[in-house]
Amino acid sequence: MAKPSDEQQRALTGLLGLGNHSARKSHYPELAARLDELETERNRYKWLFENAVHGIFQASLLEGMRAANPALARMLGYQNPQEVLFSLTDLAGTLFVGGAQELENIGEILQRERSLLGYETQLRRKDGSVLDVLMNLLLKPDQEGLVEGFVADITERKLAQQRLQQLNDELEQRVTARTNELLDAAEALRDARDAAEAANRSKDKYLAAASHDLLQPLNAARLLISTLRERKLPDVEQVLVERTHQALEGAEDLLTDLLDISRLDQAAVKPDIALYRLDELFAPLVSEFQSVAAAAGLKLRVHMGDYAIHTDLRLMTRILRNFLSNACRYTDEGCILLGARRRGDALRIEVWDTGRGIPADRLESIFLEFNQLDVGRAADRKGVGLGLAIVERIAKILDYRIKVHSRPGRGSMFSIEVPISQEIPLPISQAAPQPSTGNPLPGRRLLVLDNEVSILESMSALLGQWGCEVITATDEATALVALQGQAPELILADYHLDHGVVGCEVVRHLREHFSQRIAAVIITADRTDQCRRSLQRLGAPLLNKPVKPGKLRAVLTQLLT
């Protein structure tokens, strides 16, 4: 270790108050060791100052830069730290991009706060380029205006921020553009949906109108064919008539289903909920399908208790008629069961059959339009598979739940749950059976009102064959002329006549004219609720076109007996 110089020894002696030789001698080792420590510390700080990654400087607020490390020089593009020892004027005019105003602001903050941390600014490099930096500035308390500063290059961070902002702006632009595209697509979809709905409504209206118009000539053809079926014809002609009858019957079923689908899709069907005894619902169905089942070699069984339900009788009958029709169609042998069982607050009405059954993977598809099971040949098809589609739509309108259980080769069960009533109305009183009087139709005077001449001719031929005296007319005026002051015993009137005239009104006028409550039957292809309500007020039974001759004869027999 180097021996302290005389000047150092005197300074230490004066500093410590040691004046004599003995004192100097006794404290010299300790002082020498302390000097070594200070020198080591000074060298360490010097090494850190010169090799620091970030720039370090010392400056005076009054004079300018006093010291700078190599890192700051390299940061600013200089080779030697001495080159960055700018005067105050150079600091304002060369180094700080913000100029004198920025330096003045920095000085005011330091005088007030004694420090300035995290200060971002821009410095001008030797080549004139601009450098983004972050500064921490400290005003030394023991020396007036002396500032120590630490400088970090944040150019890369700034560039990253700018790039991030650019990416964010681009992303926002893409999101905006995509949003606009989606909005345009949504608008296009809305337009397409509106166009599709409008086309669907137009299709439904056209289908309803077309079906109604097609039912008119079909009705005339059915009446003529029925007239021929009741005549004694040679076997060959009888076969042709029967085949024509079957073809017309298939066309009638198809048009009826299409008309029902059209009305259901237009939401034109409004349920008319009322309280009915279960036997009121079952009795007409049993009467209708006993002969159908017998013709197919099947037995129809019925199981019902003393229940009452809240439902729309017409719509509910439509559902069960479809279930029973399918059961008869797809059952080759065995029996069909129509029954009901209570399930809490609901009554579950079931139709069982011993038919072919339905595979589990096809249970859902049977309710789709134009879907029929196991129909390989066109000759085996009946209808176009709209029956269960109609059932599903009616069930949704009534808010009823339909269930299907089936085992291929064993049979199927279709059920529907209907709200049950605690109140059970009294049975409808049945008139006492009258002694048979034979056929009541021959010689009876009937008036047929229809605006279609072909239907008038067909109806006249059929009723004439049954022995009736038939008077035909197209409106009220021609009817009064044809009747020649004598009231008919029964009126068969079409619902829609020419010029917006309704058959119900003509019936009322004729009743008033002859002062008699003349029996009447309304025949129409109109299946709307408005038509049904008009008939309820008139108190006349309704027959839908095409008219089934058997049903027509039964209604006439009942009214004229």
Please give the full DSSP string across 269-322, using - where no structure is assigned: -----EEEEHHHHHHHHHHHHHHHHHHTT-EEEEE--S-EEEE-HHHHHHHHHH
* CA torsion through residues 135, 140, 145, 148, sign: negative
What residue type is 410 in one-letter code? R
- The CATH class, in words, for 22-158 is alpha beta
Indicate the domain borders of the chain. 22-158, 271-419, 445-560
Among residues 142, 109, 136, 110, the alpha carbon closest in space to that of 121 is found at: 136
- The token pair that represents 480 in the structure block: 């009064």
Among residues 55, 131, 134, the alpha carbon closest in space to that of 97 is found at: 131
What is the structure's pLDDT at 489? 93
C-beta pairs of 48-51 under 8 Å, 24+ apart in sequence: none
Q: Exposed, middle or buried: residue 141 (CB in 10 Å: 0-12, 13-18, 19+)?
A: exposed
pLDDT truncated to tens, each residue of the chain (561 aa)?
Answer: 445 555 555 555 554 444 555 555 566 777 777 777 777 777 776 677 777 778 899 998 888 898 899 989 998 999 899 998 988 888 888 889 888 899 889 989 988 899 999 999 999 999 989 999 999 999 988 777 899 999 999 988 888 888 999 999 999 999 999 899 889 888 888 888 888 777 766 665 666 566 566 667 777 777 777 778 777 778 778 778 777 777 776 676 666 666 666 666 666 667 778 888 888 888 888 877 887 888 888 999 998 888 888 888 888 888 898 889 888 888 888 999 999 998 888 899 999 999 888 887 777 767 665 556 554 433 444 554 567 877 888 888 888 888 888 888 888 999 999 998 887 776 654 433 344 456 788 999 999 999 888 888 888 888 998 999 999 999 999 999 999 999 999 999 988 888 888 888 999 999 999 999 999 998 887 766 667 777 777 778 888 777 778 778 888 888 887
Distance in angstroms (rounded) separating the CA atoms of residues 552 and 542: 10
Distance in angstroms (rounded) separating the CA atoms of residues 561 and 121: 112
What is the structure's pLDDT at 138? 92
- The token pair that represents 424 in the structure block: 């059970």
Q: Exposed, middle or buried: residue 144 (CB in 10 Å: 0-12, 13-18, 19+)?
A: exposed
Distance in angstroms (rounded) separating the CA atoms of residues 549 and 223: 7
Parallel, antiparallel or unpaired: strands 335-343 and 346-353: antiparallel
Distance in angstroms (rounded) separating the CA atoms of residues 62 and 560: 129
- The token pair that represents 376 in the structure block: 């390989």
What is the structure's pLDDT at 257? 65
Q: Strand, coil or helix: what is 264?
A: helix
Whether the Cβ atoms of residue 524 and residue 531 lie closer than 8 Å to each other: yes
What is the structure's pLDDT at 258? 66
Distance in angstroms (rounded) separating the CA atoms of residues 223 and 77: 111
The structure tokens 């990253």 sit at 160
Cis peptide before 546 (omega within 30 of 0): yes
- The token pair that represents 55 in the structure block: 């720039």
What is the structure's pLDDT at 435? 40
Distance in angstroms (rounded) separating the CA atoms of residues 494 and 509: 15
Whether the Cβ atoms of residue 263 and residue 269 lie closer than 8 Å to each other: yes
* CA torsion through residues 529, 543, 434, 277, sign: negative
Distance in angstroms (rounded) separating the CA atoms of residues 449 and 115: 110
What is the structure's pLDDT at 424? 77
Q: What interhelical angle do 529-538 and 503-514 show, nearest 10?
A: 10
Q: Strand, coil or helix: what is 86?
A: coil
What's the CATH fold of domain 271-419? Heat Shock Protein 90 (3.30.565)
Q: Which CATH architecture has domain 445-560?
A: 3-Layer(aba) Sandwich (3.40)
The contacts of residue 382 (CB under 8 Å, 6+ apart) are: 250, 253, 329
Whether the Cβ atoms of residue 469 and residue 443 lie closer than 8 Å to each other: yes
